[in-house]
Structure formats: C-alpha cells, structure tokens
Amino acid sequence: MAASFIPDFRLMWYLDELKKNEFVQFKQLLKQETVQRGLQPIPWAQVKKARRQDLASLMTQRYGEQPAWALALCIFPKIHRKDLCDKASRESAANAYRAHIQKKLISMWSRGAFTEIPGCFDQSLTCEEHESLEEYFTPRVPRRPRTVVLRALQRMGKTRFLMKVMLAWSDGTLYRDKFSFIFYLCCRELKQLRVTSLAGLMSRERPDDSVPLADMVAQPERILFIIDSLEELQCTLTEPESELCRDWREERSVKTVLSSLLRRRILPESALLLAAMPMRPEALESKLDHPNMQELKCFQDSHVKQYFCCSFEDRGRALAAFSSVRNNEHLFTMCHVPLLCWMVCTSLKQEMERGRDLAATCCRSTSVFLSFMFQAFTPKGATRPSQQGQGLLKALCSLAAEGMWTDTWVFGEEELRRNGIADTDTPTLLDLRLLRKYSESGSSYSFIHACMQEFCAAMYYLLDSPRDHPSRAVMPIEALLLTYFRKDRASWVFLGCFLFGLLHESEQQRLDALLGMQRSRELAPQLLGCLRILAEIEDPEDQVEFLLLFYALFEVQSDAFASRLMSSLREAHFPLRERPDLAVAAYCLKYCSSLRELTVSVPEIFPEERGPDPMSSRTLLWWRQICSVLTANEHLQKLRVVDSVLGKWTLLILCCQLRQSTCPVQRLELKDSGLSTMDCTALASMLATNRKLTLLDLSDNKLAEGVSTLCAALRHPDCTLQTLVMAGCQICEHFCPHLSEVLLSNANLSHLDLSRNSLMDEGVAQLCEALRQPTCSLQTLW
C-alpha cells in the first residue's frame, strides 16, 4: 500500500519536471526507443500534440504502468536529465522504507484491534486530525515552524495517536509531498541505551541498508523525527553548548544526542514532532526554536459518548453507563483513550449483568479496574476466581511490580517465568486481554496499557509481601509511596492513586470476599503514617507533588482519612492543568484546615466561560469550591495564582471570596495571570471592600488603561494595602497623575513597584512631585 499512490501519477509528475525543449526531445526519443525495443509505437500525431498529462496517459494505456515508467527512465539520461533517474532511485528506496514502516505498524496496531469499532473508531485519522496535522507543518510567514509539540497527559493516548500519524504517512495520505522519511524515537525505549548517535537511532528503524543514511541526511528537510514521551528521559535541554553534538554520527549519551537534535545542533533543517506531558510547557517552549505548541486531544467528549453507544447493544444501557462515568471526571478523562474506554465499557457491561450499582462502581477508577480484573479471572457461572486463577493473578501482579521498580514495560519469557507465569499461562493472559504481544516473534510481551501494569503493581502490595518477591528491586510500600509522591520516577502516573483506591472499604470487602485476604486492612495505618511524614516536611514544594497526593486521597473517598492527613498541611503548591485536577483539588482543599500558604497555576482550562451560562459549568463549580478555602480557612495568609489564564468569570469568583470579611488572606500574588484592562473593575471592587490585604502583586499583566480604575479603589480611605507591585503592566506616563493621587491620599501604601513600564520623563516627574509632598507615606519606589 505504501507505494500505491505512486504509479498512477509518477510519470506525469516527472514529465512536468521537463523544460519545453526537453519535452520535445523526449517525444522524439520515445518514437525511436519504442522501435528499438520492438514495441508498437503510439501514433506520432497523438504524441506530437500531447501535453505532459496526456502523454503519460497514452504511454500507460499502451504499454502498462511499469513498462511505460521503464521507457521514461531510459530516455531521461539521453536528454541530460539523469538527475530525474537519481531522484526516482531515491523515491524507490523511500517507498520501500514506507512499506516497511507500514507493515510494522499494522502488525503492532492489530494487537490492540479488539478496541476498534470499524468505520467509527479505528486506525484512520479523522478529517479534523488530518487537517490539523497538515497545518502544523504548512509554511507560514515570516518563518516555517519546523518543531511541533503535542502536549498531553501521560497515559492519555499519545503513542496511539502517533502510530496513526505514521500509518497515514506510510499509505501516502499525510505529508506525502513533505517528508520522504519518518523516524519514530520512543524515549521510554531509548533510555535503556547508554551511548548512541543520531545515526544509530535512525538505523533502528531501517529494514536494511537499501537507503544509505548519508543519502537520507543529504536532504534533512525531507526528514521528520517523531519523538514520543520526552518526559521519560527528563531532558532539561540545558546542557552547555560545548557538550552538544554537531555531527549526526557522533556518539554521546541518549540525552545529549536528543538535546542536540531538539536544539538544532544536528540536522537543523529537519522537522520535529514531539509528544510530551505538559509538566512545565513554558520551560520546554523557551528551550526550543520557535515551537508550534499544540494540545493533543485524541478523543473528544462526544467521541467517548459515541463509543459507549457503539459498544452497548442497548442504547439505554449505554447512556446509563456513560452518565455514571461522566460523574467521575478522573475516570471520564481515562475514557479519552480508546483502549481504556473499551476496558471501562467491558467492565460496566459485566457489572450490569451481575446487577451491581454502576454509580458505586464509577465513583473510583480503581473500582472499575478491579471489576475488570476479577471478571477476567472468574470462570463463567462462578462467583470468585478459582485457586488456579488466584495464583495466576498474583503472578501477573508480581510481574507488574517488578516492571515498575525496574522501569520495564516490555517483558521477555525469562521475566514471566521468574514471577510465576508459565509458558502455558501466556496464551490465557493474551486471551483475557491483560497482556499482548509486543513483537511479531511473540517472545516479548507488555500489559495492554501502562495503566493496567500500574494497577496490577498496586494490587501486588495487597496480595503479597515485597520481602517475598523474586526480584530485589521491589521495595517496601513505604519506599513506594515516597518515590511516587516525590515524583522521583516520571513513569509512575497512577500507581499511588490505585494503591489508595484499593484501601476503600468497599474494595477491601470485595478483596476479602473474592480472595479471602485481610492484608489490605493492615496497610491502611502504614500508608497514613507515611503520608503524615510527607505532609509535615519542610519546604514541601520541592519534595512533594501535591496533585498526586490529592488524586490518591480522592480515590480513597474517605472524609475521615482525608481530614486526618490534610489537617496538618501548612503549604500547598500545584498546577491545575486539566479538568480532573480541579475536581480532586476541590475535594482535598476543604480538609486543609491549617493551610497558611496556597500556590496554584491555572492555564486556560475553562472553555465553558464562553458558553451561554458559564456559571453553571462543572469547571467553574470546582473553581468556586477551590476558592471557598479563602473564607473557610482562618489561617490562610498567602495566596499565589501565577502563570495562569484567569478569565472573566474565574476572576469574579476569586474576587468574590476575597471581598468576604471572613477572608484572612494578607498577601495576594496574581503575577502573569492573563489579566487585562477589563479585569481591573473586579479587582478594584475587591480592594474597596477588603480590609486585610497588605500586599498585591499584579506583575506582568496587561493592565494599561485599567490602572485608573484600580487607583480609584486605592484612594479609598479604608484601603489597607501596604505594598503594590505592578511591574511590566504596560503602564505609560498618561496614568501617572492617577498614581500620584494615590500616593497623596493613601496613608498605608509604603512600597510601590512600577519597574519595566514606559513611564517616560514626564511620568517620573509627576511621581517625584507627589513624593515631595508631606502627605505622601511612600517609603520605597521601584
């Protein structure tokens, strides 16, 4: 299929390359060449008047596609166009490479084909995806973006989407005229390498040496590097220039080679398509050369609903199941990955057949995974797994735990046997859709999804003791929690979350009934003690990923447990990148009764603000609950909302809480929060009524004309503000009279920062005049 689009048009494209006189010579030599080969010539009258497209059609109809092409290749050198033969040779090799990539990808895709719904959810790109991908590398003015970053959460379908991109390229429907070669570099696999070169990385994808690497890199603008899961290598892109490679054949560490490629020190003309988790997208963006930053949305909300309707035979049941899942934002987000959506649908269909309450099952993602696991190991007609099934379940969980601690996601037969999975067990695990073949040879395997491996690893700690594990790499549960919540391993995404979810009372009851286990009840005190240590450490911002902690507590769904842990927390610092983050933060912050400092960053995750009734949206409801901590917590003194995009309604909700007399916040920082002139009205209203705020930092917001509105509130005799920072707020000399009036009338304001604003000499003179007046209380002016 990879070359299927070529023969029909290739001859016409090549004839288009000929100049007018060359085309005339081609026709004359065509007449001679057919006679010499004993072929029936095309009537000269037709050849003589034929245009390029017509001649290609005449030759193909008379001689067939391949013979006509062979004739053209014989004639090109005779009219001094051997370059066209060379080009054809390169294209032939490129087509062979396409065919190789396509064969490999189709084989890989087929291992997960059970999740597909033909004609609806399969390996094809949607029209919207196709248009977006073409646009990403379309020339723009003044420069052409050659680096595209697709930002998506871990485990949310990045790899599957990239496979669809490569399949579309291999069959000629995407980037046909842009890229001759695509190289897929998976950082999860590459981090196993110690030393390599870009040549070595490229050679991993080549079937043979039919296309020399030197020929490929001779046209670097025709190469696209697809780099998957960049966060796995933890590349900071901060290496000194002296350490970077300049030669694609130079051997260095994998990090150095990739950093050299990304920072355009090797093959700078090549195109880059990165898929990465948006931990700090602004940091990544600053290190790359004019990147085109895009959000990856593999599965839209409507697609999830459609998938449910296609999966369930009864539409009513489908909508009931979808409604239950929709109420859990974390689980619903997981369903945006087709494979996980299939798993959830499969689990819920069987839960329905057993008469279980779907609402209870869908309260926690862990519950859905546990249901899927036990349904897989429970024989038809039975109520619990057999002894043999329990043994195989424990062996599978043992394998998963070893993989998490050794950072292994692909397992050989030796690893399977070491953990108790016999050769005869492997077909069973494949049929149960718990494992899948990783390679065509069948000698290596992986879990159907990394989330499944994380869930099984969490289950291991409830089924067995790590002291008895065959691998010394598997550590005790205390070490697991410290490693997870400190984010020491980038690949551990849901492990701690699943572990805590399994401690929920209903899950403990199911484990006890199905396996006769009591170990889960012994673990709860251990986990609580470990988490209390984390919550009470000094400088928690540098040592704890608060969102991971929040997700774990959200899975437990125990008010008493959350209260005992969070009541001692004094500081919390976390970003809110996705809708589930808002939900879990809203749940956990209400238990932080001793919180003194809160820092959040909020990117643009409030699309409902543009709807007809924005205040009724889920995201704004969660945001309101988060902001309610400002009045519910009497100890909270400092609030920082930084590097954010606060829209009209999000700011109004925040200011509404800050206006309340019960709000104890004294220091408010809204640096670089996307505020504009229009937002100053809400801020001014808050300043006019708040009697406790002493510091306000509005740096790096485009306030401009809104400064006059703020100044009106600052002149209020009851304004308690002592420090005001408006550095880099696009304030010009025209607003200095308003600021001067504030200096003369506000007796509390002692520190004012107006740095990085174009005040001009005129504006500075006006401020200086105010400073000379005896009624001015200002002590510091920047």
Residues 23 and 53: their CA atoms lie apart, in Å, by: 12
Of 317-321, 465-469, 503-507, give the lowest mean pLDDT range: 503-507
- Please enumerate in sequence order all residues whose Cβ is within 8 A of that of 497, keeping only pairs 6 or more positions apart, or say none: 365, 366, 548, 551, 552, 554, 555
Of 166-170, 194-198, 732-736, give the lowest mean pLDDT range: 732-736
Whether pLDDT at 113 is above 50: yes
Q: What is the pLDDT of residue 77?
A: 93
The distance of Cα 527 from the centroid of its chain, to the nearest Å, equals: 29
Indicate the helix (H) or strand (E) that contains 26: helix 20-36
Backbone φ and ψ for 744, nearest 5 degrees, come out as -85, -25
Residues 173 and 767: their CA atoms lie apart, in Å, by: 64
Q: Residues 173-187: what's their mean pLDDT?
A: 86
Q: What is the pLDDT of residue 118?
A: 53
Residue 446 near residue 409 (C-beta atoms within 8 A): yes
Residue 1 pLDDT class (50, 70, 90 cuts): very low
Whether pLDDT at 742 is above 90: no
Q: What is the CATH number of domain 90-295?
A: 3.40.50
Of 214-218, 259-263, 370-374, give the lowest mean pLDDT range: 214-218
Q: Residues 363-381: what's their mean pLDDT?
A: 90
Of 240-249, 353-362, 537-546, give the lowest mean pLDDT range: 537-546
Q: Residues 246-250: what's their mean pLDDT?
A: 92
CA distances, 102 to each of 93, 110, 165, 589 (Å): 14, 12, 11, 49
- Tens of pLDDT, residue by residue over 553-596, are 888 888 888 888 888 888 888 888 888 899 999 999 999 888 99
Q: What is the CATH number of domain 9-80?
A: 1.10.533.10
Answer whether the bond into residue 142 is a cis peptide, omega within 30°.
Answer: yes
479 or 613, which is more confident:
479
- Tens of pLDDT, residue by residue over 654-666, are 999 998 989 999 9
Residue 538 pLDDT class (50, 70, 90 cuts): low
Q: What is the pLDDT of residue 432?
A: 92
Residues 307 and 161: their CA atoms lie apart, in Å, by: 17
CA atoms within 13 A on the CB side of 287: 20
Number of H helices, E strands in the chain: 37, 18
The crossing angle, in degrees rounded to 10, of helices 505-515 and 519-536 is 150
Percentage of residues of the chain with pLDDT beyond 90? 28
Of 79-88, 141-150, 726-735, give the lowest mean pLDDT range: 141-150
Write down the domain spans for the chain.
9-80, 90-295, 364-529, 566-608+615-781
Q: Residues 489-514: what's their mean pLDDT?
A: 84
Q: What is the CATH number of domain 566-608+615-781?
A: 3.80.10.10
CA atoms within 13 A on the CB side of 211: 27
Residue 553 near residue 588 (C-beta atoms within 8 A): yes
What's the pTM? 0.75
101 or 483, which is more confident:
483
